[in-house]
């Protein structure tokens, strides 16, 4: 139990980390942003300068080891996560690690095991913000409460206006964008993904050379559910996220507030957010606030390292499917054997 404000440090203050810095410094109760670190020192200095009293630290590992930091929010690129999360575990720090947990399943599984062996208890939450978005939460509540009967199908749409410069190959769309729908489907169905098939039409002429964009994913869930996801990261329009769940007695949809806007010039239907920071601003606030409250109580309540591992394993199989268009089975480790809990 931590009685005073939770002292938080942020590792990685690019687009998302800087957004979290503003959030933690201005509107999260029970927390104090104390330090930021970034591979680009100037960027850390710039973000720290916006928030009086916040230190900038050159080396992320010094921030993680700092006794004056109780909890770490990791918003660095996915390839840096394994070592940084391992350091957090070694120092017993509560951690909120942005998705993806890591970019390959072997390293993600190592983190599941390291949390078990080094910390002996859950310390890490993975940043899948859809689970905190009020509309998604309402959908989940409705499905679990039972009036719609058994969930049969989920249809997702996930579009961005343009891809970030570092999206240089088609796998980035799977690992960094589709990963959200992988987690959302596991959560909504309460089941793992059994196979994934990834198909692509002719690529948009607006997508950078070599990027197979858009993509369509099909998930066969354990237990018989099916999910489709369109991911289109250079749609030119804006940030559109929708999710329709089809159950035996009815359907329910998240994101209908954006449904009428289909043209690039925002011509009708009202404004559409430019990116995830606007569309999910409320979800991020709720997510980070819930994490802070959970840290005060010494627990992890959001998506776990297992959730991060399972999502990464599905994406890895998805990248393999991209090569052939054939279904690829997701081979997960035995959860009960690893964590000693029922699957
Ligand atoms: C980004 O990293 C996110 O997490 C966004 O939610 C997603 O829409 C985008 O495609 C990713 O690059």
Q: Is the preceding omega at residue 214 within 30 degrees of 0, hence cis?
A: yes
Question: What spacing in Å lies between the alpha carbon of 248 and ligand 1's midpoint?
Answer: 31
Instruction: Return the bridge partners of 71, or none.
Output: 8, 94
Q: Read off the tokens for 272.
A: 């559409």
| pLDDT reported for residue 274 | 85
Distance (Å, whole) CA 171 – CA 191:
24
Question: What spacing in Å lies between the alpha carbon of 125 and ligand 1's midpoint?
Answer: 18
From 276, 279, 280, 311, the mutation candidate for ligand 1 (largest count of ligand atoms within 8 A of CB) is 276
| pLDDT reported for residue 183 | 98
In this structure, the residue with its CA closest to atom 8 of ligand 1 is 177
Distance (Å, whole) CA 111 – CA 108:
5
Among left, alpha and beta (phi > 0; psi -120 to 50; other), residue 57 is beta
In this structure, the residue with its CA closest to atom 2 of ligand 1 is 176
CB under 8 Å to 78, separation ≥6 — which residues? 99, 100, 101, 102, 103, 175, 176
Closest-CA residue to 221 (of 195, 247, 244): 195
| pLDDT reported for residue 260 | 45
Residue 162, classed as helix, strand or coil, is: coil
| pLDDT reported for residue 262 | 46
Rg (CA), the chain: 20
pLDDT tens for the 343 residues of the chain, in order: 777 999 999 999 999 999 999 999 999 999 999 999 999 999 999 999 999 999 999 999 999 999 999 999 999 999 999 999 999 999 999 999 999 999 999 999 999 999 999 888 999 999 999 999 999 999 999 999 989 999 999 999 999 999 998 898 999 999 999 999 999 999 999 999 999 999 999 999 999 999 999 999 999 999 999 999 999 999 998 899 999 999 999 999 998 875 444 444 555 455 678 899 989 999 999 999 999 999 999 999 999 999 999 999 999 999 999 999 999 999 999 999 999 865 4
Pairing status of strand 250-254 against strand 328-329: unpaired
Question: What spacing in Å lies between the alpha carbon of 341 and ligand 1's midpoint?
Answer: 32
The pocket around ligand 1, CB under 6 angstroms, is made up of 160, 164, 176-177, 180, 233, 276
Distance (Å, whole) CA 292 – CA 85:
17
CB under 8 Å to 11, separation ≥6 — which residues? 17, 36, 37, 38, 60, 63, 64, 72, 73, 74, 75, 76, 84
Closest-CA residue to 212 (of 121, 324, 313): 324
CB under 8 Å to 105, separation ≥6 — which residues? 309, 312, 313, 316
From 162, 167, 172, 180, the mutation candidate for ligand 1 (largest count of ligand atoms within 8 A of CB) is 180
Question: What spacing in Å lies between the alpha carbon of 342 and ligand 1's midpoint?
Answer: 32
Alpha-carbon distance values, 254 to 110, 156, 303, 313 (Å)? 34, 9, 20, 26
Question: What spacing in Å lies between the alpha carbon of 158 and ligand 1's midpoint?
Answer: 9
| pLDDT reported for residue 257 | 73
* Rounded (5°) CA angle 324-236-173: 30
Q: CB–CB of 102/312 below 8 Å?
A: yes
Residue 242, classed as helix, strand or coil, is: strand
């Amino acid at each position: 139990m931590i009685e005073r404000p939770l002292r938080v440090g942020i590792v990685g203050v690019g687009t998302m980390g800087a957004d979290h810095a503003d959030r933690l410094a201005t509107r999260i109760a029970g927390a104090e942003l104390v330090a930021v670190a970034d591979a680009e020192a100037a960027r850390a200095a710039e973000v720290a300068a916006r928030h009086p009293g916040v230190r900038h630290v050159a080396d992320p590992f010094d921030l993680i080891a700092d006794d004056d930091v109780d909890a770490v929010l990791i918003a660095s690129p996915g390839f840096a996560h394994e070592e940084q999360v391992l350091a957090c575990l070694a120092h017993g720090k509560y951690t909120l690690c942005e998705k993806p947990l890591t970019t390959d399943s072997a390293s993600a599984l190592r983190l599941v095991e390291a949390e078990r062996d080094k910390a002996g208890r859950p310390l890490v939450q993975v940043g899948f913000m859809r689970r905190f978005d009020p509309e998604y939460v309402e959908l989940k509540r409705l499905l679990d409460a039972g009036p719609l009967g058994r969930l049969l199908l989920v249809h997702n749409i996930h579009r961005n206006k343009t891809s970030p410069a570092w999206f240089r190959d088609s796998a980035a769309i799977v690992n960094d964008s589709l990963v959200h729908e992988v987690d959302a489907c596991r959560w909504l169905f309460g089941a793992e993904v059994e196979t994934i098939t990834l198909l692509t039409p002719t690529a948009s002429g607006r997508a950078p050379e070599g990027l197979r964009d858009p993509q369509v994913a099909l998930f066969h869930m354990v237990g018989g559910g099916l999910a489709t996801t369109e991911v289109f990261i250079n749609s030119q329009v804006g940030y559109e996220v929708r999710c329709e769940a089809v159950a035996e007695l009815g359907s329910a949809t998240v994101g209908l507030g954006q449904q009428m806007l289909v043209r690039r010039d925002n011509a009708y239907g009202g404004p559409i957010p430019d990116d995830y920071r606007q569309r999910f601003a409320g979800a991020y606030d709720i997510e980070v606030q819930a994490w802070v409250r959970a840290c005060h109580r010494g627990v992890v309540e959001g998506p776990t390292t297992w959730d991060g591992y399972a999502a990464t394993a599905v994406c890895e199989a998805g990248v393999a499917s991209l090569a052939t268009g054939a279904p690829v089975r997701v081979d997960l480790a035995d959860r009960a054997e690893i964590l000693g809990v029922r699957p």
